[in-house]
């Protein structure tokens, strides 16, 4: 009996043993354990790094020595340094730029994920103090990504860059995208202390700017921000978790592709678009292995881009709008394919003409906000006699692009009209229009993506929301994939009525300790089975705009064995 006790005490005090036990005491032949809680990770600093590099990362929050860091980023590894709440991150040079997720995990559970950004620029850390003009941190080697933090309420960070007359300075901020609770502002201030440019929201709360220097001199990029979600105390925010990444370069950068449609097959040329992109840098030839696929879109990071550019993936070449196409007589003729255009000026309207037979159904979808483009599109359909028969703005709070389906009530030319809701326009207000007959399908969303703790012999539930589209009638089955050893979840037949379906996940009484991500899949039956993987929102009700990573299909499950 004594040997059993000694063995158990030795086992839990082994260095690095991840058992959720942070102290063991032997009293009168009995063991008592002080149990760790599930980790709570509030921020990573730096919240990303350059591909092909290695660097230290500190964690803010409640993350004990028994924890380890997990990520879904291919080729990224975290090893503890031995210092409190610090790991060494190693990023492969094959890791593609973009946003990824990191969790802290132990035997008691997993933290909520934090965002981790991989880039191509060299990196450096902010040097405080850099709050006051004249004491800003001078940056001499560009391009660069600066990892900083608004340390306290009222904090302002400044970075000084020397520019020649006519030279362009581009600044791109990642803060909201990293999960920081801040609505950031970016200013450019000249040597006289005059604010010459201000930028706020871009595709989300993170600003970006392109500034062309009117004269040679030292210009300061200054960052500060307000709390998000908003609070009653309206002043600049700060804190240990208010981290950011500031990308700086002395050149114009590509902000999108045009058309924002690419093929996954063969080598292709695309046109890079953005403010002041010179024609000599606007053509880029890519190969399929450069693409990151996130059906139905992809990401591509050409050298002229700071962050990955998104595009719809298709095997069909899009039809490009033919200007002028503002009037009914000038509408661009299309069939049921992809088309692409730009709302170039304020009040611009793009029209597309499609021939329809009476009773024929079509569906029109716009891709813009989901691709990070500024167009707040509204699409409407007009009958052959010019009457508006239907229109659409946003699909939902999380999808700010329009989708509509209509049935022709008469034969003839119907027109699809695309415009900006607020009648704005610019060279960046591009979009993809997809027009095709509506196909029966279904949509599946995770109700929650919070990490689950499953004790041996117990059951937890995971809910998915099912919605059938366009008259879909086939039977559906919900199942879990990637379950840990000793865990099972019986398939659930989806009722005829749309709504939530509960999947019960059960651990055997002898299930071993484990932790890993699982997915929820919804399948059709019979030949030609169809499957969709459920996605859940990462940012919840505080989402503003879009980022490169707003949803996940992964739910973390920690299995906790029975204690003796």
Q: Can you give the CATH number for the domain in which 344 is found?
A: 2.60.120.380
Cα separation, 18 vs 61, whole angstroms: 18
Mapped onto helix, strand or coil, the DSSP state of residue 177 is helix
- The pLDDT tens digits for 138-192 are 999 999 999 999 999 999 999 999 999 999 999 999 999 999 999 999 999 999 9
Does the pLDDT value for residue 26 go beyond 80? no
Cα separation, 168 vs 411, whole angstroms: 53
Cα separation, 429 vs 315, whole angstroms: 24
CB 180 within 8 A of CB 226: no
Helix (H) or strand (E) holding 195: strand 195-199
Q: What is the arithmetic mean of pLDDT over 507-521?
A: 97
Look-up of token digits 């900006």: 420
* CATH number of the CATH domain containing 113: 2.60.40.10
- The pLDDT tens digits for 466-505 are 999 999 999 999 999 999 999 999 999 999 999 999 999 9
Residue 467 and residue 502 in one domain:
yes
Other Cβ atoms closer than 10 A to 537: 17
Please give the structure tokens belonging to residue 138.
């001078």
CB 107 within 8 A of CB 66: yes
Which pLDDT score, from 0 to 100, does residue 36 have? Answer: 65
19 pLDDT band, cuts 50/70/90, is: very low
Q: How far is CA 440 from CA 30, 182, 393, 443, 474, in A?
A: 63, 41, 22, 11, 9
Cα separation, 158 vs 180, whole angstroms: 19
CB 384 within 8 A of CB 410: yes
Residue 149 and residue 233 in one domain:
yes
Residue 323 and residue 355 in one domain:
yes
Q: What is the dihedral of CA 372, 378, 379, 381, to 10 degrees?
A: 180
- The pLDDT tens digits for 415-457 are 999 999 999 999 999 999 999 999 999 999 999 999 999 999 9
Please give the structure tokens belonging to residue 27.
């009293």
Residue 450 and residue 556 in one domain:
yes
Which pLDDT score, from 0 to 100, does residue 497 have? Answer: 94
| Interstrand relation of 217-227 and 182-189 (parallel, antiparallel or unpaired) | antiparallel
Cα separation, 379 vs 350, whole angstroms: 10
Please give the structure tokens belonging to residue 251.
């050149």
Cα separation, 372 vs 263, whole angstroms: 19
Helix (H) or strand (E) holding 35: strand 30-35
Residue ending a domain, choose from 222, 249, 276? 249
CB 464 within 8 A of CB 444: yes
CA proximity to 128, closest of 257, 223, 26, 25: 223
* Phi, psi angle pair for 436, to nearest 5°: -160, 160
Integer Rg of the chain from CA: 27
CA proximity to 67, closest of 115, 17, 11: 17
Look-up of token digits 């932790």: 515
| Residue 176 DSSP class | G
* Rounded to 5°, angle at Cα 53 from 51 and 58: 105
Give the contacts of 540 (CB within 8 A, at least 6 positions apart). Answer: none
Residue 394 and residue 448 in one domain:
no
Mapped onto helix, strand or coil, the DSSP state of residue 12 is helix
Give the contacts of 35 (CB within 8 A, at least 6 positions apart). Answer: 20, 21, 22, 108
* CATH number of the CATH domain containing 550: 2.60.120.570
Q: How far is CA 252 from CA 171, 181, 211, 304, in A?
A: 10, 29, 9, 8
> Domain span at residue 79?
40-119
Does the pLDDT value for residue 526 go beyond 90? no
Does the pLDDT value for residue 20 go beyond 60? no
Q: What is the pTM of this model?
A: 0.90
Residue 432 and residue 445 in one domain:
no
Cα separation, 200 vs 72, whole angstroms: 30
459 pLDDT band, cuts 50/70/90, is: very high
Which pLDDT score, from 0 to 100, does residue 564 have? Answer: 66
Give the contacts of 337 (CB within 8 A, at least 6 positions apart). Answer: 316, 318, 319, 435, 436
Q: What is the dihedral of CA 477, 478, 483, 487, to 10 degrees?
A: -80
Residue ending a domain, choose from 249, 270, 291? 249
Residue 430 and residue 446 in one domain:
no
Per-residue buried b or exposed e for 421-443, using 16+ beta carbons within 10 Å of the residue's own CB:
eeebbbbbbbbbbbbeebeeebe
| Interstrand relation of 332-333 and 388-392 (parallel, antiparallel or unpaired) | unpaired
* Phi, psi angle pair for 427, to nearest 5°: -65, -15
- The pLDDT tens digits for 218-251 are 999 999 999 999 998 889 999 999 999 999 999 9
Residue ending a domain, choose from 119, 145, 167? 119
32 pLDDT band, cuts 50/70/90, is: very low
CB 538 within 8 A of CB 549: yes
Residue 31 and residue 44 in one domain:
no
End-to-end CA distance of the chain: 14
532 pLDDT band, cuts 50/70/90, is: very high
Residue 140 and residue 55 in one domain:
no
Give the sign of the dihedral formed by CA 546, CA 549, CA 553, CA 554.
negative
| Interstrand relation of 361-367 and 430-436 (parallel, antiparallel or unpaired) | antiparallel
Which pLDDT score, from 0 to 100, does residue 166 have? Answer: 95
Which pLDDT score, from 0 to 100, does residue 72 have? Answer: 97
Q: What is the arithmetic mean of pLDDT over 554-559?
A: 97
Counting the structural domains of the chain, the total is 6
- The pLDDT tens digits for 396-405 are 766 889 999 9
| Interstrand relation of 243-249 and 144-149 (parallel, antiparallel or unpaired) | antiparallel
Residue 93 and residue 209 in one domain:
no
Helix (H) or strand (E) holding 218: strand 217-227
| Residue 371 DSSP class | G
Does the pLDDT value for residue 25 go beyond 50? no
Residue 243 and residue 264 in one domain:
no
Cα separation, 57 vs 63, whole angstroms: 13
Residue 360 and residue 461 in one domain:
no
Please give the structure tokens belonging to residue 473.
């009638």
Where are any strands of DSSP class E within 307-411? Answer: 309-313, 319-320, 332-333, 338-342, 349-356, 361-367, 377-382, 388-392, 403-407
Find residue 390's DSSP bridge partners.
381
């Amino acid at each position: 009996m004594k040997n059993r006790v000694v063995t158990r005490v030795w086992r839990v005090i082994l260095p690095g043993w991840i058992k959720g036990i942070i102290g063991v005491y032997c009293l009168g032949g009995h063991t008592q354990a002080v149990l760790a809680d599930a980790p709570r990770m509030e921020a990573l600093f730096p919240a990303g790094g350059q591909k092909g590099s290695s660097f230290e990362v500190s964690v803010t929050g409640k993350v004990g020595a028994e924890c380890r860091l997990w990520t879904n980023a291919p080729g990224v590894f975290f090893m503890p340094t031995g210092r409190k709440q610090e790991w060494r991150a190693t990023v492969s040079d094959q890791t593609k730029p973009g946003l990824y997720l990191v969790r802290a995990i132990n035997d008691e559970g997993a933290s909520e994920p934090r965002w981790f950004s991989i880039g191509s620029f060299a990196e450096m850390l902010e040097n405080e103090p850099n709050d006051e003009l004249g004491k800003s941190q001078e940056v001499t080697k560009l391009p660069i990504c600066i990892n900083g933090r608004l340390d306290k309420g009222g904090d302002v960070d400044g970075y000084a860059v020397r520019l020649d007359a006519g030279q362009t300075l581009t600044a791109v901020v990642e803060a909201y995208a990293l999960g920081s609770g801040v609505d950031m502002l970016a200013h450019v201030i000249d040597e006289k202390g005059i604010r010459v440019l201000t930028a706020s929201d871009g595709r989300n709360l993170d600003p970006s700017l392109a500034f062309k220097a009117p004269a040679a001199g030292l210009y300061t990029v200054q960052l500060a921000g307000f709390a998000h979600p908003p609070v009653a105390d309206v002043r600049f925010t700060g804190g240990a978790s208010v981290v950011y990444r500031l990308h700086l370069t002395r050149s114009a950068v590509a902000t999108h592709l045009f058309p924002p449609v690419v093929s996954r097959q063969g080598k292709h040329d695309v046109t890079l678009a953005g403010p002041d992109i010179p024609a000599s840098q606007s053509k880029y030839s890519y190969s399929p292995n450069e693409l990151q696929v996130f059906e139905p879109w992809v990401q591509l990071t050409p050298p002229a881009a700071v962050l990955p550019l998104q595009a719809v993936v298709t095997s069909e070449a899009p039809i490009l709008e033919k200007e002028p196409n503002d009037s009914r007589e000038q509408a661009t003729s299309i069939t049921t394919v992809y088309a692409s255009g730009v709302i170039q000026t304020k009040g611009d309207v793009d029209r597309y003409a499609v021939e329809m037979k009476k009773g024929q159904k079509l569906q029109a979808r716009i891709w813009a906000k989901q691709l990070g483009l500024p167009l707040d599109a509204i699409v409407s359909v007009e009958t052959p006699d010019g009457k508006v028969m239907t229109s659409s703005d946003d699909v939902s709070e999380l999808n700010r692009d329009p989708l509509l389906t209509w049935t022709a009530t008469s034969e003839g030319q119907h027109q699809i009209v695309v415009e900006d809701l607020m009648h704005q326009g610019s060279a960046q207000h591009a979009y993809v229009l997809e027009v095709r007959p509506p196909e029966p399908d279904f949509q599946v969303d995770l109700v929650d993506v919070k990490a689950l703790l499953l004790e041996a012999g117990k059951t937890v539930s995971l809910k998915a929301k099912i919605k059938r589209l366009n008259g879909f009638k086939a039977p559906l089955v919900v199942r879990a994939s990637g379950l840990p050893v000793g865990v099972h979840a019986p398939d659930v037949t989806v009722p005829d009525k749309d709504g939530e379906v509960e999947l019960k996940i059960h651990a055997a009484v002898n299930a071993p300790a484990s932790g890993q991500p699982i997915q929820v899949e919804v399948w059709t039956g019979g030949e030609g089975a169809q499957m969709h993987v459920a996605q859940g929102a990462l940012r919840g009700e505080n989402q503003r705009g879009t980022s490169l990573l707003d949803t996940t299909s992964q739910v973390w499950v920690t299995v906790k064995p029975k204690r003796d």
